[in-house]
Structure 1
Amino acid sequence: MQFRNGTMGAVNGMMPDGRVDDITIQSEEVWTGVVYGLAATMIHEGMIDEAFKTAGGIYHTVYNRIGLGFETPEALYAEKHYRAIGYMRPLSIWAMQHAWEQRKHFVDQ
């Protein structure tokens, strides 16, 4: 939750001291689909609050800050840039629902 205090999701590369890794362009990016996949994994691991804070950050950024809810970009940068709108990987948000249903099923047993 160090990158932008969790308000944009998880950045691809973070140095041990908490700085964004700027060695490659990909490490400076937030990939929407990867963030949703990470959130699904967090749900599987019982990290519910963290999962929804992480996913909520990317959701809020895409829908409310940059207005691209129906053209979800693949990658976002910390400051006013994005690339590859209409990308398919953000459909991994459905993995969050699957993880939630699996967790609920597991708890019920």
Structure 2
Amino acid sequence: MRPAIYMMASKRNGTIYVGVTSNLPQRAWQHREGVVDGFTKRYGCKLLVWFEVADTMEGAILREKQIKAGSRTKKLALIEGMNPGWHDLYEQIAHG
């Protein structure tokens, strides 16, 4: 699996978390199951609503910083562009 930037949400238009990982299926599962204490567990961000793969981890980290520095409106636009129904994309990435 290539490095990926992703967004987890608590619900449609809810709390959004932006992260980066080298193993998106595993990381999304950890957020869904609440196995790691932190922001996503505290705010119930269990839905994988957006992701983007990168060629390198360095590139993924730069993109994550760019997204985090952007406005909520920009984050919502990314989600709506890929996933207008705010569906949980976990099954799509977990099973190919």
TM bucket normalised to smaller:
under 0.3
Task: Point out which structure has higher relative CO (alpha carbons under 8 A, 6+ apart).
Answer: 2
Report the TM-score when normalising by structure 2: 0.26
Greater C-alpha radius of gyration: 1
- The structure whose residues are more often helix, as a share, is 1
